[in-house]
Chain A
Amino acid sequence: MERFLQVVVDGIADGSVYAALALALVLIFRSTGVVNFAQGEMAMFATFLAWALADAGVPIGLALAGALVLAFLGGMLVERVLIRPVEGGPPLNLVIVTLGLFILVNAAAGWIWGFDLRDFPRLFPGGVASIGGVSLSIESLGIIAVLLVVVALLWLLFTHTPVGLALRAAAQDPASARLVGVPVGRMLMLGWGLASLLGAVAGVLVAHRLFLDTNLMAGVLVYSFAGAALGGFDSPIGAVVGSWIIGVTEALAGTYVDAIGSDLKVLVPLAVIFVVLLVRPAGLFGSPEVTRA
């Protein structure tokens, strides 16, 4: 039983990392209508920035803050320079641009920092905490706590601030938002900046566990996709719950199903996406696609 609880908590911690990236995907999907395939690579790049700052002697807290700010600015820059010219055009063009960005950012990171595995500094103390007689990894609990704080902050931003209201307006109905004076272009930039920031949070949270290299986020991206698809691509709550379900399912399957083991765990999200598409295409919390006839 203790082992089971440990596996579940570790699964929720993994799921929390996927959730941060899934939230970024959902944020952009709601405002731009496409999936940003480069989201994971942008996060990987930001994680490398944090590592490089820390490696240069900057205290880890400052290095993280610096990387998050740079990620935010970088996300805004990407929207303004690369996405804006094709926004509103055919979705295929947007998708190709984000795929180009995926390859470009990945190669750029390899060019700058090489292709070796790097040791990312620990953000949480190692070891275990005993809660109700069950020893749980402090790192896992820390990751879950960070995600909960992030979700709370996002909720505050979107429901209790004028900027959040404008962001939602720009995402839901750009034309009407523009009419009532919302600077839609600036809101889209801000949305991409926020998404990039969320991705960077996922990156720095997972980098110690996975070791840092240019492929850090490729796997995480697939799990986040699965989480977002399961929760419903237009629902932030769905993204978090869906990602947790993916994380726990993956951890349980990897631990208790011998045939799966650690190498075939990646089949779990594939199977989940598949079943969701067959049974409930809009996801658990998503709204079904409605097109005007």
Chain B
Amino acid sequence: MIRLTAGSRAHRALRAGAIALGVLVAVGIPFNSSPVLNGQLTLVLAYAVAAIGLGLLVGYGGQISLGHGAFFAVGAYSAGAVLAKTGLPYLLAVPIAAAVAFLLGLAFGVPALRLRGLYLALVTLALAVAAGPVIKRAEPLTGGVSGLAVPQPPVPGWLAVDPDQWLYLLSLAVTGLMLLLAVNLTRGSLGRSLVAIRDGERAARTTGVDVARVKALLFACAGAYAGVGGALFAYGQGFVAPESFTLLLSFTFLGAVVVGGLGTVAGGVLGALFVVFVPQYAGDVNQALTGVIYGATLIAVVYLLPGGAAGLLRRIRRRVVTVVEPLPPAPSPPPDAQRGVHDADATSDPARAGGDPAGRGVRP
């Protein structure tokens, strides 16, 4: 049991050390594993970026999107088209995919978000179902049913790594950047507005938050994250086809977010590990086992582990390291001290997402 004072030198050193260790492990992995595993981890990163974006929408916005797979597909095909049909530098494919998905998110989010929860889920569900047929029909751009071969980013001449390692490292760099952006987003003014809206929309409105604008922006940002994830998917797979973007993919992202932990940015990465590696092992037993595990886990997490994997990790960390606030200048102790080791981070409590029960409305 270690006791640290928040903000003290030891606390900061330990945190910096943990982050450095994490980065070191993430960068070191591809040099100590097989090309197959590297390919799977590259897929994890692509899914993780999409899950981080969806996590922002669900955990901070209290909104559910069932069509995140469609934005992922849009990103993958945008990147694929840029790489396959234009001579643009391959790195440009990522921002282009993000921009296209962002605009699509804005176009769908603005009308759907005028109402609460339910309707966004409906519109996005229809979007997910419609994605497949639309992709198949738009053959000149997407290659139709047979798919689109995407030239993968070549290893730069000055770097002595294998192609699978390079794809992983490239994806890791993009994921790291998106992770930092997400953390900044949640700590900045947009993040605070979001938490205010989620925990009490009327109160947020009264204090001057432009609710409609913030929600639409968040939805579009979540779409852009899925777009970037899709671009990484196109890089990593070297091939995009309609069967990769079914309704199940959208549900998979939602599963990743819930299992990873609502209201935490890191949850997306943990959730992505879950949804990529479960089918690897479950698929050997039975084709249907993956779905059984996904479904059962989703339900079990709601009952047993509301903070998801990230919440579990945080609880374990609190067993080992206790961070105490510096001696309180105010007479009342901080609320954390009263509730003890139990997850006291009220702003990331998923049980609060979704707003007041009165939001159901009065029925005649």
A contact residues vs B (CB 8 Å cutoff): 30, 33-35, 37, 82, 85-86, 88-93, 95-97, 99-108, 110-111, 115, 171-172, 218-219, 222, 225-226, 229, 233-234, 263-264, 266-267, 269-270, 273-274, 277-278, 281, 287, 289-293
Contact B251 A218 (CB under 8 A): no
Task: Say how far B121's CB is from chain A's closest CB, in angstroms.
Answer: 7
A115 to chain B, nearest CB (A): 7
Total number of residue pairs linking A and B with CB closer than 8 Å: 166
Given A86-B303, A110-B287, 9 other A-B residues pairs in contact with their CB atoms under 8 A:
A92-B62, A97-B299, A102-B295, A104-B298, A226-B126, A264-B133, A269-B126, A274-B123, A281-B114
Could you tell me the distance between the alpha carbons of A264 and B290 in the complex, rounded to whole angstroms?
30
- How many Å lie between the Cα of A291 and that of B119 in the bound state? 17
Given contacts A30-B363, A86-B302, A93-B351, contact A273 B122 (CB under 8 A): yes
The binding surface of chain A is classed by DSSP as: helix
Complex CA–CA separation, A291 to B355 (angstroms): 12
Q: Given contacts A104-B299, A264-B134, A266-B130, is CB(A111)–CB(B292) below 8 Å? A: yes
Tell me if B111 is interfacial: C-beta within 8 Å of chain A: yes
Chain B residues lying within 8 Å of A233, measured Cβ to Cβ, are 118
B192 at the interface (CB under 8 A from A): no
How many residues of chain B have a CB within 8 Å of chain A? 61
**B126 with A108: CB separation less than 8 A:** no
Q: Give the distance in Å from the alpha carbon of A115 to the alpha carbon of B67 in the complex.
A: 24
**With A103-B291, A107-B295 in contact, do A287 and B129 touch (Cβ < 8 Å)?**
no
In the assembled complex, B101 has its CB within 8 A of some CB on chain A: no
Return chain B residues, CB-CB under 8 Å to A274: 111, 123
Most chain A CB within 10 A, of B112, B130, B134, B289, is at B130
Docked-complex contact A229 and B353, CB < 8 angstroms = no
Partner of B129, one of A34, A110, A219, A263: A219
Contacts of B363 in A (CB 8 A): 30, 171-172, 234, 287
Task: Contact check, A264 vs B294: say whether CB atoms are below 8 A apart.
Answer: no
Task: Please pick, from A99, A111, A115, A218, the residue contacting B289 in the complex, using a CB distance under 8 A.
Answer: A111
B residues near A82, Cβ cutoff 8 Å: 299
- Which residues does chain B contribute within 8 Å of A33, judged by CB atoms? 360
Q: Which residues of chain A are near B117, meaning CB under 8 Å?
A: 91-92, 95
Task: Using A92-B350, A277-B111 as known contacts, say yes or no to A107 and B129 having CB atoms under 8 A apart.
Answer: no
Shortest Cβ distance from residue A189 to the other chain B in the assembled complex, whole angstroms: 18
Q: Nearest chain B CB to A209's CB is how many angstroms away?
A: 18
- Write the chain B residue with the least CB distance to A233: B118
Task: Contacts A263-B133, A264-B133 given; indicate if A291 touches B122 (C-beta within 8 A).
Answer: no
Q: Which A-B residue pairs are the 7 nearest by beta carbons? A: A107-B291, A104-B295, A100-B298, A103-B295, A111-B288, A110-B288, A100-B299
Chain B residues within an 8 Å CB radius of A37: 66, 121, 125
* Structural contact, B294 and A90, CB atoms closer than 8 A: no
- 1/0 per residue B292-333: CB within 8 Å of A? 101111110111000000000000000000000000000000
Please indicate the chain A residues that have their CB under 8 angstroms from the CB of B112 in the complex.
277
CA–CA, A293 and B361, complex, Å: 11
Chain B contacts for A93, CB-based, 8 A: 302, 350-351, 354
A92–B198 Cα gap in the complex (Å)?
11
By a CB distance below 8 angstroms, the chain B residues around A289 are: 115-116, 361
Partner of A89, one of B66, B288, B351: B351
Q: A91-B117, A274-B111, A281-B115 are in contact. Are A101 and B299 (CB under 8 A)?
A: yes
A102 to B58, CA, bound (A): 19
Compute how far the CA of A229 lies from the CA of B359 in the bound complex, rounded to whole angstroms: 18
* Chain A residue contacts of B258, Cβ below 8 A: 96
Q: Does B114 lie within 8 Å of A90, measured CB to CB?
A: no
Which residue of the partner chain, among B111, B121, B127, B355, contacts A35 with CB atoms under 8 Å? Answer: B121
Cα of A151 to Cα of B211 in the assembled complex, Å: 41
Within 8 Å of chain A (Cβ to Cβ): is B179?
A: no
Contacts of A104 in B (CB 8 A): 291-292, 294-296, 298-299
B74 to chain A, nearest CB (A): 15
B43 at interface, CB cutoff 8 A: no
Q: In whole Å, how far is A289's beta carbon from the nearest beta carbon of chain B?
A: 4
CA distance A233 to B131 in the complex (A): 25
| Cross-chain contact B121 with A115 (CB below 8 angstroms) | no
Contact with A along B175-218 (1 / 0, CB 8 A): 00000000000000000000000000010000000000000000
Which single member of B111, B127, B297, B358 contacts A291 (CB below 8 Å)?
B358
CB-nearest residue of chain A to B356: A291
Contacts of A266 in B (CB 8 A): 126, 129-130, 133
A276's closest neighbor in chain B, by CB? B119
